[in-house]
Chain A
Amino acid sequence: MLVEPPPLSRRRLLGGLLALAAGSALPPLIARGESGEIREVPATGESLPLVGLGSWITFNVGDDPALLEACTAVMAAFFAEGGRMIDSSPMYGSSQATIGHALAELDATDRVYAADKIWTSSPSEGPSQLEASRRDWGVPRFDLLQVHNLLAWERNLATLQAMKAEGDVRHIGITTSHGRRHDAIERILREADIDFVQLTYNIVDREAEDRLLPLARERGIGVIANRPFQQKRLIRRLEGEPLPDWASEINARTWAQFILKFIISHPAVSCTIPATTQVEHVRENLAAARGPLPDAELRRRMASYVQSL
């Protein structure tokens, strides 16, 4: 029932190939890094830790010195635990500047996998917006730029594709959330040349399992799962309920880890991006990527259990 991810070795590689050949739902191309699980994104060859860091709400703290310091502590813990991908957007208020502040304080611009978005209904403003975002982050270039929530996606994606061709960004993608516009996302996955898709996927929002996740996997496109905790609502709903005894089989000690392990054990998911303001939570989240992950049968059991509560 359990999948104990093996160390990176010939045996692991052969095992992965066998699993793929058998059509298994085992996570492919998983390797254990020094500080947690990483998974390769086929379209890019990039290996990323399975748990990243979101910045919606949590990092929007303006120029409050005390809160900037708290966010810096969160990012310090994130990097110390082996985290790499941090995701933001110009829509998120001062979050980009907060990330930039912390990166400068921690001298960590070379450790971060910088993921941001283009968010404008006037695509001609896209390049200047992206340059402003880059200055806020203080990075030489972004690792990943995504079209935010499909906003003017055709022209904005063309901007990103041109930037990628010029070497101004390494990877590009597109985002949606809350299960919206999956038909359009499916069309883009089939037709467009992108490296990542970001969408909402968690133990109760599972619509993406039907078409998008298999399609992304088939096309070698990385998947970033947003809203893992439904913006705390899912955690609040579950926190009064007991974890099942069998959660210990996958080393899930908290509901957050239970939920995260469900998400990152899907073979198509490259990483998930929980946001937090608490150092202990970022450690708890990153720890979810270590140890065994559930297999397909246990994933079904996990989903049924949560549904029954």
Chain B
Amino acid sequence: MPMSEWWSYHPADFLMFSLHVYERLFVLHNQALWPAQLLALTLGVGLLLALWQPRAGPLRLVVPLLATGWLFVAWAFLWQRYVPINWGIRYVVPLFVLQALLLLVLSQWRGGLVLSPQRLTPRTFGLGLVAYAVFLHPLTALLNDHGLASAEVVGLTPDPLAIATLGLAALARSARRGWALLIIPLLWCLISAATLQLLEAPGAWVPLLAAAIAVVARLMPHG
């Protein structure tokens, strides 16, 4: 296609499915996984506690669990449910696998992941993102027609998983490791925000705001 033609497209022309179909993905996903949501929420609380008072032992445990979440979502949600209605997502699946590997390697390699509890602002932003992903993001389903049946639960669906990981990346003391962990969740949040915006979904700005907060937190000194 000539480059000039790309400018003649309306963003909505790239949309392949309706908001109703997209929301139904989460309804069916939740029905298929119930009661795994309870376990996922429990693990989410565990992640938040481990990041609240970071110690090497718990971190070495919860970060691999987060990595498992990336692998699970790549397979169970993206590949099984999302790719059939959006073929472009097949190119995103390897990125989720790469993010899982990054989490595994960076949480175990050369002393593991060290967080920076001293600085108040990045700590507040980082923990705030994780707390939002675990407790509040599922409630955004109340804004749509399906209610909590379509709740997006951390560890089982991509948006809260990416936002929680942004929180972790914002907290990392090492800038290099922090940025390495931030890129793919950031990319996903941009994809998700664009999709939700095109679908005219309520809360389309949420992933965008989460990404912005994580970047700001990451740019702050971590001591």
A interface residue numbers (CB < 8 A to B): 56-58, 60-64, 66-67, 91-94, 149, 151, 178-181, 231, 233, 277
Contacts and interface: CB of A to CB of B under 8 A. Distances in A.
Interface size bucket, B side?
20 to 34
B12 A64 contact: no
A67 B17 contact: no
Interface of B: 1, 5, 8-9, 12-13, 15-18, 20-21, 24-25, 28, 81, 84-87
A151 B15 CA distance: 19
A93 B13 contact: no
21 contacts: A56-B16, A57-B15, A57-B18, A58-B18, A60-B21, A62-B81, A62-B85, A64-B24, A64-B25, A64-B28, A66-B24, A91-B16, A91-B87, A92-B16, A93-B16, A93-B86, A178-B9, A180-B8, A181-B5, A231-B13, A233-B12
A182 B82 CA distance: 34
A178 B81 contact: no
Taking each of B8, B20, B21, B81, which has the highest tally of chain A beta carbons within 10 Å of its own beta carbon?
Answer: B21
Contact of A63 (B13, B17, B84): B84
Nearest to B12: A231
A233 B12 CA distance: 10
A61 B13 contact: no
A93 B17 contact: yes
Nearest to A277: B18
Contacts of A57: 15-18
What are the nearest 3 A-B pairs in CB distance?
Answer: A93-B85, A62-B84, A60-B17
A178 B24 CA distance: 30
Contacts of A181: 5
A92 B84 CA distance: 10
A62 B5 contact: no
A192 B84 CA distance: 35
A8 to B, nearest CB: 40
Given A66-B24, A93-B17, A180-B8, 8 more contacts: A57-B15, A60-B85, A62-B85, A92-B16, A149-B1, A178-B13, A179-B8, A233-B12
Nearest to A93: B85
Contacts of A91: 16, 87
Contacts of B12: 231, 233
B24 A67 contact: yes
B9 A67 contact: no
A56 B5 CA distance: 20
A57 B15 CA distance: 8
Contacts of A62: 21, 25, 81, 84-85
Nearest to B24: A64
B19 to A, nearest CB: 11
A61 B16 contact: no
Contacts of A61: 17, 21, 24, 85
A60 B13 contact: no
